[in-house]
Structures are given as structure tokens and as C-alpha cells.
Structure 1
Amino acid sequence: MNWHGVLPATTTPFHTDLTVDHTLLAQHTAWLLENGCTGLVMLGSLGEGATLELDEKIAILKTTVKSAQPTQSPVVAAISALSTANAVRLAKEAEDAGCSGLMVLPPYVYSSDWREMKHHVLTVMGSTKLPCMLYNNGLAYKTDFLPEQIAELAQQHSNFEAVKESSGDVRRIAAIRSLLGDRLSLTVGVDDLLVEGIAAGAVGWIAGLVNAFPAESVELFNLARAGKTEEAFALYRWFLPLLRLDTVVKFVQLIKWVQAETGTGVATVRAPRLEIAGADLAEAKSVLAAALANPPAIKSTAFPALQEV
């Protein structure tokens, strides 16, 4: 499993009747890889995993694995559930579906102390032979895995290979590296922290706005990794207002709206989310209009024409 590079936290496209659009899903995932992404992360928060039934999750993974086969790119399944038993079941199903790795989340809804959260993630990691990434996002999931705790987890399972660090504190990346060196691959999980995270030692980016701007995202990542500071910040300045859409409560609705406006997806979301409106929509229109009025030299390839199937 290669945790390096840009791995989109991929959105899940829905028909107007809210069933999963597998035709569009296959088109979108293949297009992301065509534009330089190194792999795909499915069923995460941006993929509206909490609104998907188990059979839908398995079908999404199978579609994505098939679309990734021509490039032999890895597909990573986000493993989140209300119970540890259901998380283990999904991990096993993901392995059977042909996924290359897992992104393990703390349990939805219930968060507690280190003893219980450690048991949950270690049980999931121990249930599979697949390489695993820990998703640390204390703001969203109320469970914050501290660097010392991550180091303890790393001693338990050799298939624990990476961390998606989404605390919003870039110092966490340096802190984990100081404890573990290169034992874990560290990835940035907050879009508007990419350049800073790479400078601190991250080797990958689990990205959001990449769903609409993959080549631009890959170029930004590559410039940052190459230490081309001036060129990276020139592109970063253009991208930042868009990247900040990934850092607010309605990030799913906003990113899918950007996809719809750029012809790279649909805005449809499942309740309790509703498509953006009012002041949220007005602000998003302003941000996107400014970005499109002054695009960078790098540009993603044209997306296949969208059509309802």
C-alpha cells in the first residue's frame, strides 16, 4: 500500500432518487486517477459514509476497485460504524471486495476514554491483513488520538502503517515523527493545511476539493514536496479560498456543489444534509467565481459529459 501522494476523500454521487449512481462513480474515480491521484479513499465523511447501508458500501467499493484496475491504483475503505462488531464486519467485506487498505475511524456517536478507543481501533486493525491508516479528527469525532497514544498503537500491529492527521494542528505531524521517525506514513487531512503539513513531514494528502480540481491538487502537492516554495504558494494563494470550503460543517454540501458547478459531479446529498442555499450558497458562488476568473496554468482534463442513468 502506497500512502504517498494525493488520495481523494471521494464523494458518493447520487441519482435524484438518492440511490447511488454507479456509472458516475466509475467515471469520477477513473478521472481522478487519470489526473494524477495515487489512490482513492471511499466511504469517508465526504463520501457520506454515515448515510450508507452496508450493502451500498460494499457495492461502492466493488465499483471503485473495478474502475481503479487499469492503473492498479489502491482503493482504501473508510471503516466507521456505531459498533466495533459492525466495523470489523465492514473491514472484512472491504478486504473481500479487493481494497488495498483501510482507514480506521473511532466509532460514530460514542466517544470515551483511551482504553475503549484503543480497544476499538486495535480490534479493527487486528481483524484484517490489509494495511491500515488511523483517522484522527478529534473535532469531528470527539476522540483525539494524541501522538503518544498513536506511538502505543504502532507497537501493537505491524499493519498499522499511516495516520490521517486532521486535528488542525500542524505540530502534531512533527510530534508523531519525533516519537516514531518514519515508522508511519503521515498524511494531511485538512485541505487548507497542505503546504504547512508537507513542510512538517507529511508524505500524503487525503484531499477534498480534489474531487473537482484533481490536477491542480496534485500540482500543489508535488510543488510542496519538491520544496518549490515560491511556486507552491503562488498556486496555494489561488486555491486557499476553495480549500477552506473543506473546513466547515457543510463541507460535503459545498464540495459537491462545486463539483456540480464545474461539471465534475452532482450536488445531491442525503438528509439530514440539504443542498446549500441562502448565505452559504451566495458565499460559495463568490469563492468559485473568483477562482474560475483567474485559473492557474495547470488544469484538469475535461470530465466526461454527465448524464442521468
Structure 2
Amino acid sequence: MAIKWEGVMPAVTTKFDENDELDLNTFEKNINAQLEAGVSGIILGGTLGEASTLTPKEKENLVKKTLEVVNGKVPVIINIAEQSTKDAIQVAQDAFAWGAQGLMLLPPMRYKATDRETVVYLKEIAKSTSLPIMIYNNPVDYKIEVSLEMFEELLAECDNIEAVKESTRDISNVIRLKNKFGDRLKVLCGVDTLALESMVSGADGWVAGLVAAYPEETVAIYKLVKAGELKEALKIYSWFMPLLELDISPQLVQNIKLAEVATGLGTENVRAPRLQLEGAERKRVLTIIDDAMAKRPTLVDYKSL
């Protein structure tokens, strides 16, 4: 399946039951809600989320379950965030064997690679697979930035590097990327609190977090922006902002899962070492969610745009 790298692509949370096993029934309910809302793809194994706690078998089960639920409607993409080039290549090969249609690829985890090491790492993985790839560029959280010059080298040698999840927090970088590479490199916003601004600046799509709890509102913002209905998009985005800010936190998984409980699309079960929120922080997050739910907007018919 070819990937268009546009629209809203949820970085979905991983669902667990009370016994710390995959909760595939709740997971299926959430994926169906994403599809009904009109998302353009499903991204599994969020790197700032709980992907690092999953076993290879759990990753395989998630991919195969998602493919079953999606049934060809949208592409299924899995993250690669490994410690070594060898392991990353193995995940790429496994993903292909499991039936995934694309990869989201980070620079090396934990080790702060040089620019040369980063480029070689990304090239070797890209050249090991035929699957299309979106590079995740997040120097704020991962301390490595893939510069325009590095992208130029990568794109010259790796036809299957097709997109970037742009998370530098620098809105003008969207314009730099589009000016330099045009449609050769699709740009998707990777920071929820900068999504509308990024799309107005030319981003092709949005790799979203709070979409896991609010799929319709997220897709509506994208559709309205692309249709030029900025006033209507801004109304939803302004309501959404306190919730979107829950995504830029080390506890983003716990925050998003509490929001999923509020909308009936998940549970708050997390995998250790993460723990459910408690005390003042739990009260603060629930207050934000409860306030948003009380003011949840009525959406226009965005699907017809």
C-alpha cells in the first residue's frame, strides 16, 4: 500500500488490561473510532510512550491486530526506536514480515550520535527495507537534530525516505523543509500544540497524540485548515489547547489515557515503570479534561470538506 503521508495519523496508545497484558478489545474499539473520524493512517509503538516496554511478540500482535481491524482502509506504520543498527534493521524486517506498510524511524536512541553517525544509521536501515519511511526529527526530546543538509544526503540515496515528523518546535522549519524539498519530502507536524500553525505554514499532515481520545476534533481541525476555514478551525483548536498541552509532558501517556477514559475510548492502565497519576497532578489533569468535556464543541460536517 502506497502511503500519501498527509492528513491525521494517530500515534495511538498501547492498551493494557489489569494483568499487564495487551487489551486488544479496547484497542480495537479505539482504532475503529479513529477510522470513523477519518484518519489517514495508524502509527503503533509511540517512542515517547510505551513502545520500549513491548516485547517483539507484543509488537507483532499489535501490528497484526491493527491490520485486521483496519482491513486495508489506511496504512499501518510502526516505530523503530532501537539501541543498535542491527536491532533496528531486524525490526524493519519483522515489520515487513508482519504486514506493516510503513516505518517511522528515529535516530539512535540514548547514544547522542554525531551527524555522520546519524546519517549512516538512517541510511543503513532505509536500505535494508522496501517499506516507506518517515523520519522522526525531535531534537528537543532525543537531542539529535536531522538538519536540512542531512536530509539532502538521505533523500539523494534513499528513495523510500518520504516524510518527516517535524518536532523541532520551530514553525519556520516547516517552511524551510517545503522550500528546499517540495513534495519530495512530506512534512507532518509532530507537536500537538503547534499543529494548526504548522499546517497553515504548509505541513502536509499531523502525527497527533490527543487524537487517541478526541479523533473527530483532531481530524476536523486538519480538514478545516486545508479547506481554508481557519476561523472555524481556530475555534476548535482554542478549545482543544489545554488538552493538547497534556501531550508535551513526560507523563503524556498517563494524561492521554485519562482523556481516553473520559471519552470512552480507553482505560488508564499503563505499564511499569509508568504509574497512574495520583494526588495533585491527577487532580490537575482531570480538571483540564472535565472542563474540556463540559465545553466540548459541536462540530461542523467536516467529512464533506
Question: Given that residues 47 and 81 in structure 2 are in contact (C-alpha distance below 8 angstroms), is that contact kept between their aligned partners in structure 1?
Answer: no
Question: Given that residues 10 and 43 in structure 2 are in contact (C-alpha distance below 8 angstroms), is that contact kept between their aligned partners in structure 1?
Answer: yes
Q: Which residue of 1 aligns with 2:113?
A: 112
User: Alignment RMSD, CA only?
Assistant: 1.5
For the residues of structure 1 that align with 2:241 and 2:154, how far apart are their CA atoms? 34
Q: Which residue of 2 aligns with 1:307?
A: none
Q: Which amino acid aligns with 1:204?
A: G
Q: Which residue of 1 aligns with 2:69?
A: 67
Q: Which residue of 1 aligns with 2:10?
A: 8
Q: Which residue of 2 aligns with 1:77?
A: 78
**1:214-238, Cα deviation, whole Å (9 max, x unpaired):** 0111001111112212111111110
Q: What does 1:159-198 align with in structure 2 at a 5 Å threshold?
A: 159-198=160-199
Question: Given that residues 247 and 256 in structure 2 are in contact (C-alpha distance below 8 angstroms), is that contact kept between their aligned partners in structure 1?
Answer: yes
For the residues of structure 1 that align with 2:237 and 2:17, how far apart are their CA atoms? 33
For the residues of structure 1 that align with 2:230 and 2:167, how far apart are their CA atoms? 23
Instruction: Tell whether 2:298 aligns with 1:297.
Output: yes
Structure 2: gaps spanning 5 or more residues:
none
Structure-2 change in CA distance of 1:12 and 1:242 (3 Å): same
Which shifted more, 188-197 or 109-118? 109-118
Question: Given that residues 132 and 162 in structure 2 are in contact (C-alpha distance below 8 angstroms), is that contact kept between their aligned partners in structure 1?
Answer: yes
TM-score when scaled to structure 2? 0.95
TM-score when scaled to structure 1? 0.93
For the residues of structure 1 that align with 2:48 and 2:70, how far apart are their CA atoms? 19
For the residues of structure 1 that align with 2:142 and 2:63, how far apart are their CA atoms? 23
Q: 1:20 aligns with which of 5, 10, 22?
A: 22
How many angstroms does 1:148 deviate by?
2.2
How many angstroms does 1:48 deviate by?
1.1
For the residues of structure 1 that align with 2:43 and 2:147, how far apart are their CA atoms? 23
**1:96-121, Cα deviation, whole Å (9 max, x unpaired):** 11111110112221122011111111
How many angstroms does 1:47 deviate by?
4.7
Q: Which residue of 1 aligns with 2:53?
A: 51
Determine what percentage of the aligned residue pairs are the same residue. Answer: 38
> 3-state DSSP class of the match of 1:155?
helix
How many angstroms does 1:151 deviate by?
2.1
Q: Which residue of 2 aligns with 1:206?
A: 207
Q: Which residue of 1 aligns with 2:156?
A: 155
